[in-house]
Amino acid sequence: MGSINAVVDLAIEDGIAVLTVDNPPVNALSADVRAGLDDGIRRAGQDPKVEAVVIWCAGRTFIAGADITEFGKPPRDPSLPALLDTIEACPKPVVAAIHGTALGGGLETALASNWRIAAPTAKMGLPEVKLGLLPGAGGTQRLPRLVGVQPALEMITSGTPVGAKQALAMGLVDEIAEGDLKEAALAFARRAVSEGRPLRKIRDLKVDATPEVFAEFRKANARKFRGFEAPEACIQAVEAAVSLPVDEGLKRERELFMKLVSGDQSRAQRHVFFAEREVARIPDIAADTPTLPVAKAGVVGAGTMGGGIAMNFLNAGIPTTIVETQQAALDRGVATIRKNYESTAKKGRMTQEDVEKRMALLTPSLALEDLADCDLVIEAVFELMEVKKEVFGKLDRIVKPGAILATNTSYLDVNEIAASTSRPELVVGLHFFSPANVMKLLEVVRGKETSKPVVATAMKLGKTLGKVAVQVGVCHGFVGNRMLAARQREAQKLLVEGAMPWDVDRVLLDFGFPMGPFAMGDLAGLDLGWKKETSTSSTIREILNEMDRRGQKTGAGFYDYDENRKASPSPVVEKVILDFAAKQGVERRQISDQEILERCLYPMVNEGAKILEEGVALRSSDIDIVWIYGYGWPVYRGGLMFWADLVGPAVIAERMHDFQARFGDDFKVSPLLDRLAKDGGKFADLK
């Protein structure tokens, strides 16, 4: 309990007022924190015994930003800008002492202070853009004045924090405290007093940039910012810092902020922020459930997935043994891992020493026996139940008792795989996404006998590997691929009915996906799971494979590719599609962009509803996370089910009924979607 209110304390130490914020877990700027700081600064300003002020935070971090839970609720005074005005107007030196992370409103508080002193491990950033916002309390006006326009634009539109060393170099902080941070801040404040330093107010600093700087910045980042509203608003706010007097600039920033904070994109991105944290909570598994150690890992299969999976462990510093059946396949797998690391090193994102360090943790082998002392083994062999069962049976006999056996299967029944061992409680699905060293999603497939400690270990492992882990239940394709199948089915049907691959792709690209389903198919290879011997020209895809148009790797697939892998619509494919439709007796029609979107996405929502009904996913926001981190769903649309709530279950159900009447039972509305439509309910409100 502080002397001002429950979360802010004011103590005077030797003529210096120490204002301490203590609002766990991250000292967010709740209404009470704002009120307490405002009161404390005013008191210190008036108290003749006080010569200077240090803003300090208890616990693990400096202020990590505005309290995101307050957005969208009625505002409470003092507002953050008003508080920062109070700080900036304080007649005595104000020093911010930063440890942990000073983020968003937290860094803005520091920028309203006269000086900033940081712990060597501190990080500072303006991550608002990641919440679909811009720094709304002076960050866009003060930061460019302090560090210059270009670095400010980069920090504000990326949201990426900088470390203390870089902050010092760019002038964001004035000193790095080598010893005790609080003592160093007190000493700094005393020095400012004794030297009679004029109060440095960032608002008084000059800022300058030509219009070309902004034009070039927009151009250089056009691809990255595509579809997002916030980055453009951030740039406009920084432009205002250059073109307007500071008070008008602050007003402009506020207007832009208010518009973003009440918009759908920011709502969506705030939803994702909380969804990403919620996903770790599994109702029947207590947070303190003991986990098993994973100090040594094994991977079976060094193909596309096995290699990528192994890299995750090597990156995390976990020694890993990778097993193949043939020397050539093993060599190829290991060479690919090395090639990936070397290419990262070439881009300057890793040192050669790091490459060698990682490779040294890898043990290639041709004998499953070498996995005997692993704590966890992940199987990534061919997608065939018989092969999986054989591998699991062997692993069960070889790997030490108590170790976890995991499968990376995309579709197969994890319960059936578990049943081929004597330890089904230790069997779990760990479904990585391709490329496994890049994609952040990890579906943790919980079998009917998987024990709670094993699920807890898998969820924790996800975090260790830098993934976002989502618990899912057993069914064909789990959450992500099962929903994807609904989209793929419709995309294929649309081709026969009247659309071209590039029409479908364009609509989904415009919606915000990184690429459409056909461009994606070409990239992955159209021959995944295809066999020449059993191919009967029964689908457009089969026909393309038979023509050796197997995707980018053969220079042709749904598209034609030039030597730079640039895609263009293919007249050959157009003819294949027209012939195929004619053979099927289909009279092709004009299909609108709106229909393409609805045909592709509404059946996915319907599948998501079934997944929730069956309990395969715990909550609709978990499905959102699967789509964002596994399939590039645009984050500014908040995830598939969040988007469905925005569109409205009733609207979607009605359209599905209409499609069902025209196109059949692929559009049969699930009981849950039907119920929400009738009751006016939302997926997000389901308990």
Tell me which residues are annotated as active site. Answer: 108, 128
Give 232 or 560: the residue with its C-beta nearer to ligand 3HC.
232
Stretch that binds ligand 3HC, among 96-104, 308-316, 412-420, 495-503 (CB under 6 A): 96-104
| Cα 201 → chain centroid | 36
* Residue 352 lies near ligand 3HC (rule: CB under 6 A): no
Q: Does 78 sit behind a cis peptide bond, omega within 30 degrees of 0 on the bond before it?
A: yes
Pick from 126, 136, 80, 87: nearest CA to 251: 136
Judged by beta carbon distances under 5 to 8 A according to partner kind, the member of ligand NAI, ligand 3HC, none in contact with residue 387 is ligand NAI
CB count in 10 Å sphere of residue 44: 24
- The DSSP element (H or E) to which 96 belongs, if any, is strand 94-98
Beta carbon of residue 61, minimum distance to ligand 3HC (angstroms, whole number): 6
Report, in Å, the least distance between residue 39 CB and ligand 3HC: 20
- Burial of 214-231, coded b for 16+ CB within 10 Å and e otherwise, reads beebeeebeeebeebbbb
- Which residue number has the CB closest to ligand NAI? 303
CB neighbour burial string for 641-663, b if at least 16 within 10 angstroms, e if fewer = bbbbbeeebbebbebbeebeeee
Q: Where does this chain touch ligand 3HC (CB under 6 A) — which range of 129-137, 188-196, 302-310, 582-590? A: 129-137
User: Is the backbone of residue 656 left (phi > 0), alpha (psi -120 to 50) or beta?
Assistant: alpha
Dihedral over alpha carbons 561, 562, 566, 568 (to 10 degrees)? -60
Select the residue interacting with ligand NAI from 378, 391, 444, 484 (CB under 6 A): 391
Closer by beta carbon to ligand NAI, 155 or else 404: 404
The minimum distance between CB 438 and ligand 3HC, in angstroms, equals 21
Question: Is the Cβ–Cβ distance between 50 and 44 less than 8 Å?
Answer: yes
Tell me: does residue 450 bind ligand NAI (CB under 6 A). Answer: no
Binding-site member from 3, 6, 11, 69 for ligand 3HC (CB under 6 A)? 69
626 contributes a contact to ligand NAI by CB under 6 A: no
- Cα 541 to Cα 365: distance, rounded to the nearest angstrom: 37
**Binding of ligand 3HC by 249 (CB under 6 A):** no
Helix H or strand E encompassing 43: helix 31-46
Residues in contact with 527: Cβ distance below 8 Å, sequence separation at least 6, in sequence order:
545, 550, 551
Residue in 154, 175, 383, 416 binding ligand NAI, rule: CB under 6 A: 383
The whole-angstrom separation of Cα 142 and Cα 151 is: 12
Question: Least distance to ligand 3HC from the beta carbon of 256, Å?
Answer: 11
Between 127 and 480, name the residue whose CB sits nearer to ligand 3HC. Answer: 127
Q: Does 66 bind ligand 3HC (CB under 6 A)?
A: yes
The piece of 165-173, 374-382, 567-575, 642-650 that touches ligand NAI (CB under 6 A) is 374-382
Using the contact rule CB under 6 A, the part of the chain among 177-185, 351-359, 406-414, 633-641 near ligand NAI is 406-414
* 302 interacts with ligand NAI by CB under 6 A: yes
The bridge status of strand 8-13 relative to strand 16-21 is antiparallel
* Cα distances (Å, whole numbers) of residue 280 to 277, 341, 622: 6, 30, 9
Q: Which is nearer to ligand 3HC, 85 or 527 (CB)?
A: 85
- The CB-based long-range contact list for 352-361 (8 Å cut-off, 24+ gap) reads 358/311, 358/314, 358/315, 359/314, 361/313, 361/314, 361/317, 361/318, 361/319, 361/320
Q: Which is nearer to ligand 3HC, 60 or 583 (CB)?
A: 60
Is 300 near ligand NAI (CB under 6 A)? yes
Helix (H, G, I), strand (E, B) or coil at 510: helix
Binding of ligand 3HC by 468 (CB under 6 A): no
Instruction: Point out which span in 101-109, 226-234, 384-392, 399-407 binds ligand 3HC (CB under 6 A).
Output: 101-109
413 interacts with ligand NAI by CB under 6 A: no
Cis amide leading into 435 (omega within 30) = yes
Residue 181 touching ligand 3HC (CB under 6 A): no
125 neighbors 131 (Cβ within 8 angstroms): no
Find the angle CA(680)-CA(686)-CA(687) to the nearest 5 degrees: 145
Q: How many amino acids of this chain bind ligand NAI (CB under 6 A)?
A: 23
Stretch that binds ligand 3HC, among 135-143, 459-467, 501-509, 657-665 (CB under 6 A): 135-143
Using CB under 6 A, list all residues that contact ligand 3HC: 25-26, 28, 64-69, 80, 101, 103-105, 108, 127-128, 131, 133, 135-137, 139, 277
